Amino acid sequence: MPQMNMVQAINDALRVAMRRDKRVVLLGEDVGKVGGVFRVTAGLFDEFGDARVIDTPLSEGGIIGAAVGMAMYGLVPIPEIQFADFIWPAYDQIVNELAKYRYRSGGEYPVSMVIRTPVGGGIRGGHYHSQHPEAHFVCVPGLKVVIPSNAYDAKGLLLSAIADPDPVLFFEPKRVYRAAKGEVPEGEYTVPLSSAAVVRAGDDVTVLAYGAMLYEALDASAKAQQQGVHCEVIDLRTLWPVDIDTILRSVEKTGRLVIVHEAPRTGGYGAELVSLVCEKAFYHLQAPPVRVTGFDTPFPYTLETEYMPLSHRILPAVLQVARA
Partner 1 sequence: MSSHQGAAGVQEPLEVFRVLRDDGTLDPEHDPGLTTEEVVEIYRGLVLTRTLDQRLTALQRQGRIGFHVGSLGEEAAILGSTYAMRDTDWIFPCYREFGSALMRGLSLQKFLDNMFGNANDTVKGRQMPDHYTCREKRWGSISSPVGTQITQAVGFAWAAKIDGKDIATLTYFGDGATSSPEFHSGMNFAGVFKVPTVFFCRNNGWAISVPTERQTASATFAQKADAYGVVGVRVDGNDLFAVIAATRQAVERAARGEGPTLIEALTYRMGGHSTSDDPLRYRGDEQLEPWAARDPIERVRHHLTRLGAWDDEREAACIADVDARFKQAVAVAEQTPPPPLESMFEDVYESPPWHLVEQREQLIQGPRAPKSH
Ligand X SMILES: Cc1ncc(C[n+]2csc(CCOP(=O)(O)OP(=O)(O)O)c2C)c(N)n1
What residue is closest to ligand X based on CB?
A: 86
Residue 86 vs 91, nearer CB to ligand X: 86
For the segment 70-99, give every residue that binds its own copies (CB under 8 A): 85, 88-89, 91-92, 95-96, 99
Contact 228, 205 (CB under 8 A): no
DSSP 170: E
Spell out where 193-316 has E strands: 197-200, 205-209, 231-235, 238-240, 257-264, 290-294
Please, which of residues 127-146 interact with its own copies by CB under 8 A? 127-128, 135-136, 138-142
From its own copies, partner 1, ligand X, none, interface partner of 282 (C-beta below 5 to 8 A by class): its own copies
Report the C-alpha gap between 192 and 43 in whole angstroms. Answer: 27
Residue 129 is among the residues annotated as catalytic for this protein = yes
Secondary structure (3-state) at 264 = strand
Least distance to ligand X, CB of residue 47, Å: 23
Calpha distance 229→223 (Å, rounded): 9
Classify the phi-psi angles of 270: left when phi > 0, otherwise alpha if psi is within -120 to 50, otherwise beta. alpha
Report the nearest approach of its own copies to the CB of residue 273 (Å). Answer: 8
Contacted by 287, from ligand X, its own copies, partner 1, none: CB < 5 to 8 Å by type: its own copies
Among candidates 300, 298, 301, 211, which has minimal Cα distance to 260?
A: 211
Give 283's contacts (C-beta < 8 A, 6+ positions apart).
none
Site for partner 1 in 175-214 (CB under 8 A): 194
Closest CB to ligand X among residues 131, 221: 131
316 near its own copies, judged by CB under 8 A: no
Determine the Cα–Cα distance for residues 303 and 124; give it in Å rounded to an integer: 9
Q: Which of 129, 132, 136, 261 is catalytic?
A: 129
Residues that bind ligand X (CB under 6 A): 29, 58, 60, 82, 86, 89
- Residues annotated as part of the active site: 129
Q: Which residues bind its own copies (CB under 8 A)?
A: 61, 85, 88-89, 91-92, 95-96, 99-100, 103-104, 127-128, 135-136, 138-142, 240, 263-264, 266-272, 274-275, 278-279, 282-283, 285, 287-291, 296-298
